[in-house]
Each structure stands twice: as structure tokens, then as C-alpha cells.
Amino acid sequence: MTARVRGGESWRSLRVGAWLGWQIESNWTDLFLFAVYSVVKPVAGALILVFMYLVVARGGLENPLFPYIFVGNAFYIYVGAVLMGISWVVIDDREHYGMLKYMYAAPLNIYTYLIGRGVAQTAIATVATTITLLFGVGVLGIHIPPGRVDWGLLAGTFVLGLAALAFLGLLLGGATLLTARHNYFIGQGVAGALYLLSGVVFPLDVLPRGLQWVGKGLPVTYWLEALRRAVLGDGGNEALRSLSTGTVVLVLALSTGVLAVASIVFFRWAERVAHRRGLLDMQTMH
Amino acid sequence: MTFLRTVWGRAYPRVVGMQREKSWMLFDVFLPLLQVAAYVYIYRAIGAPPEFTGFVVLGGAMTAYWMNILWNMASQLYWEKETGNLELYIIAPTSRMAILLGMAVGGIFATTIRAVGVLGAGILVFRVPMAPTSVPALIGVFLFTLVALYGLGMLMASLFLLWGRQAWHIANLFQEPVFLVSGFYFPVRALGFLVALGASIVPITLGLDAMRQLLYPQMMEGLRFLPVGVELGALAVLGAVFLFSAHRALRFFENLARREGRLTLRGQ
């Protein structure tokens, strides 16, 4: 097969996966209810943090920790969406729709198909994140003047971070291929651990020292640090203050590269094992 | 007799199911604990008094019950429809209320073990101070909360009987917004009296507020929603209303679903 044919197949798989993902996510209801559904959950999640803060601060939102919490939480919406959006497809296609075996029988690129299925979730997350941030600026008065935002840094790190999440999602998808009864826990567990360890809603400095080191080893930590520096002008983590913004981006890029290699190698291995053990059409009555 | 056997028969898989895959229990405690830990560290970062750690740990433990209501009570008949069991329930010579009650009893048992795990781990890891003013009152509030909550779950199961994929999405939608308005992680009074009053339709709102008052009377002095006695009375009323409504709704929606041919419609 030539590179051109392979490229065409990958692009087609991505496109079809994205279209299918969008249909599955959205066509269960009308557009209005779907829009409400997509926005209410993340905004409610953000408001939990707002009220937790308000009940202690008794009304004051001036503490610099508040924008830190709010912005971190808003961008974290992508973490759950991309990780679960990609890894859950394996269960959905294998057990709910019983289609995974046909995917392997069809002329498609399974990696780009899985990433395509995650695109719909990413699109929904983009709307939710945007609305959450606008809510923060418009209603809660978080100070983010557009002129002070480093748009280049924001765009660059945003794309890098999404790529890291997509590769992590593929890695989890590989693990999901081999598991029968822990599918749900894998995605939720990793997303939950990242929430705790990546300084999403509190600075890394608050964590016990051992956990701080774990946090410093995670790409999402550097992604959020870079995004906060781009949006707020300050990452907020004392533990990372000694790193220049260039270094933070470099660490993010390098860790994304490592994750890319690891996820592809692992997914290929998991595919081979699943094929050998007959797990591609496994039914656990999920 | 058939009623009781049905209750036990439906509760049995939920009780014995936990033994089949013991690692689930670990995950069921570990996953909520991650969220609880994150919220505990937020409170620590903003310098909240230690009692707030107790608020979060208690709320985190109670999330297990709300998740059980959404995914294993409300959505259960949808899952049964998808896996082809619902028609077997319909033709079985027994009461459908007994099936729902069995789901509730089994769910309470399984979820209580998870909730105790989250509470115990939270207390140990974060050294949460807990000094209840009245243990019998605390147990009473907890039990009344469970009766009302699972009554609501039985009612929701009847409503969800009509739905296809919407059931999954609606259950998903009822997570974070309910965590917010019911004050799972902060005293519900912070939302204002009227919002708290509206949120009281979910019994955990009243139950959590009452339990926090009994555990942290001084801290809750300015933050309580209603007096404990009033909340206990409201929980009793909610329990009775939900159980009665579930009985009526189950019959109504089963007939409606039967007429519209939705009882056996899969993959909607």
C-alpha cells in the first residue's frame, strides 16, 4: 500500500469517526436540549468550586487563587472529554453496538478512527470550556483582558496538550481492548488522578511532597501551567515558578512525544494480544 | 410470600455480584476518593477550617448513593430493556414494585459498603474531626434519607421506562448539577434559602444538611438550612410521597410503554 493510499485511508477514517461520534453524541434529542445538556454539566461543575470558595471567602473573589481554580477547571473539561471520548469507543463499539470486529475487517485506520470518535467530544468540550470561561469573566468578574492574553502561547500549548490527551486516550483504549470488567474504571481513574495530581484546581504546592513529584511528571501539569501563563499571566504554582515559559512548553512537547510513541507501541501490542485471545468481539454484557 | 421472594431474588445479584469481582470495590472507593481529595486540598489551599474537610468527606461518601440511584435504580429498567431482560420482568408472575424494592435493597447494601469505605478512608487519610452530638439522631437522619432517596429512585425508574438512549444522557445530566444544588461539597445554605428549598426534592439535600448539623453544630450555626427536626419530618414526608408515587407511576408508565410499543424497543 502506498503512502498516499494509507494517508487517504487515515483521513477517511478520521472523518467518518468524527461524523459517527457526533451522531452518537447528539442525535438522541433535539438541538436545544443537546446544547443545554452539553453546557449545564461543566458549568455546574465550575459552580461547585465557586460556591466552595465563596462559602469560605464569604463573598470575596479577589484572591488570585480564584482565577487559578476557575481557569484550571475550565480547561480540565478537555481532559475527561478526550480521554473518555477515545477510550470509551472501544467498549461502545465492542459491547454495545457489537461493531468493533467489523472495524477490523474494514479498510480503515483504527488509530485515526478512534481519534475521530474523540473529535465530537472535543468539540462539545470546546463549547463547554468557552461558555465556562465567558461565565467566569462576565458573571464572576475574573480579570482576563484579551489584550494581555498571549494568544500564540495559548494556541500552541492548547494544540500540544490536546495531542497529549489524544495519545493518552489511545493508550487507555489499548488497555480497554484487553480488559473485560474494568473498562469504566480505567478512564475515570486516570482522569480523576490527573484532576488531583496536575494542579487543576489547587497549586501543586498544597500536595504532600511525594505527590508533588508525581504531578511534576505529568504532561497535563505543564499544559495547564502554560495555559494559565498565557491566559492569566501567571501559572500560580510555586513549584514550577523557576521554569521559564519556554521550558514549560518544551517539557510539554517532549512529554507529548514520549506519550505518542508509548501509546502507539502499547496499542499495537494490545491489538495483537486481543486478536490472539479473541477479545475483539468479547461480550461482557456491559 | 412471592413479594418477599421477588425482593430477595432481585436484591441477590447486587449483593452477590460484589463478591464476583472484588477489585470493583477497590475502584468504587478509590475513584470518589480522588475527587474528595481534590476538594479537600482546595479547602486547604484557601485556608478553610478543618470542619470543611468533614463536609467534603461526608458529601463524597453520599455521592455513592446518588450515583447508585441514577445508574442502578433510575436507569436500571433501561439497561434491562437493552439486554433483553425487561420482557422477562413483565411476564414474571410477581409484583413489579417488589422488583424495584429488590433493586433498592440490593443497591443500599452494595452502596453502603462503598460509602463506608470512602468515609473511612477519608477520615483516616485526612484526619477528619467528627464528634456527633447525637448518634441515634444521626442514624435516624441517615435511614430516613435512604428511604426517601430510594423511593425517589423507584419513581425515577418508572419514568425512565419510557426512554431509550435519553435515559443514559439524563442520568448523566443529573450528576454535577445535583452535586451543586444539593450541597454535596459545601453547606447548601450558601446557595440561598429558595434554591436550597427547591433542591430539597432530592432527599440528600436535607439529609446532608441535617447530618452536618449533628456532626459540626458550631460550624453549621450560621450555615444551616433548616433545624434538624424539620428536616427529619420533611424526609419522612418525602419518603412516603415518593414510594406512593412510584407505585402509581410504575403502573401508568408500564401501560403507556406497552401501548406505545417501547418495552422491547432496543438501541433507540
Question: How does the average pLDDT of chain A come out, rounded?
Answer: 88
Residue A196 pLDDT more than 90?
yes
Q: Do A45 and B176 touch (CB under 8 A)?
A: yes
In chain B, residues with a C-beta closer than 8 Å to the C-beta of A199 are none
Distance CA B123, CA B152 (A): 29
Give the rounded percent of residues in chain A with a pLDDT score beyond 70: 97
- B44 in a domain, yes or no? yes
Query: Which residues, given as ranges, of chain B have pLDDT below 70?
Result: 164-165, 262-268
Is residue A214 within 8 angstroms of chain B, CB to CB? Answer: no
- pTM, full prediction: 0.87
Among A62-66, A100-104, B116-120, whose mean pLDDT is lowest? Answer: A62-66
Question: Residue B162 in 3-state DSSP?
Answer: coil
Q: Which residue has the cell 459498603?
A: B113
**A167 vs B97 pLDDT, higher one:** A167
In sequence order, what are the residues at sequence separation of 6 or more whose Cβ sits closer than 8 angstroms to the Cβ of residue B181? Answer: B188, B191, B195, B198, B199, B202, B205
Structural domain boundaries enclosing B150: 2-259
Residue A7 pLDDT more than 80?
yes
Are A255 and A247 spatial neighbours (Cβ–Cβ below 8 Å)? no
ipTM of the complex: 0.87
Are A115 and A166 spatial neighbours (Cβ–Cβ below 8 Å)? yes
Distance CA B170, CA A271 (A): 34
Angle between helices A31-57 and A65-91 (to 10 degrees): 140
Distance CA B203, CA B191 (A): 16
Average pLDDT of A93-100? 85
- B255 in a domain, yes or no? yes
Residue A1 pLDDT more than 70?
no
C-alpha cell at A64: 488570585
Distance CA B163, CA B240 (A): 26
Q: Do B164 and A28 touch (CB under 8 A)?
A: yes
In chain B, residues with a C-beta closer than 8 Å to the C-beta of A185 are 24, 27, 31
Distance of CA A281 to the CA centre of its chain: 27
C-alpha radius of gyration, chain A, whole number: 20
Nearest-CB residue to A196 (from B34, B185, B186): B34
In chain B, residues with a C-beta closer than 8 Å to the C-beta of A42 are 176
Q: What is the pLDDT of residues B54-104, one digit of tens each?
A: 999 999 999 999 998 888 888 888 878 777 787 788 788 888 888 888 888
* A79: confidence class by pLDDT, cuts 50, 70, 90: very high
What part of A 228-257 touches B (C-beta under 8 Å)?
Answer: none
* A15: confidence class by pLDDT, cuts 50, 70, 90: very high
Counting the structural domains of chain B, the total is: 1
In chain A, residues with a C-beta closer than 8 Å to the C-beta of B45 are 65, 202-203, 206
Q: Do B223 and A55 touch (CB under 8 A)?
A: yes
Q: What is the DSSP letter of A109?
A: -
Distance of CA B138 to the CA centre of its chain: 17
- Give A260→chain B minimum CA distance, Å: 26
Q: What is the pLDDT of residues B220-238, one digit of tens each?
A: 888 899 999 999 999 999 9
Q: CA nearest B170: which of B252, B78, B89, B238?
A: B78
**A234 vs A223 pLDDT, higher one:** A223
Q: What is the pLDDT of residue B253?
A: 78
- Give A121→chain B minimum CA distance, Å: 14
Which chain B residue lies closest to A25 (C-alpha atoms)?
B169
Q: How many angstroms separate the most distant Cα atoms in chain A?
A: 65
Distance CA B266, CA B209 (A): 40
Which chain A residue lies closest to B164 (C-alpha atoms)?
A28
Distance CA A38, CA A40 (A): 6
Q: What is the pLDDT of residue B7?
A: 86
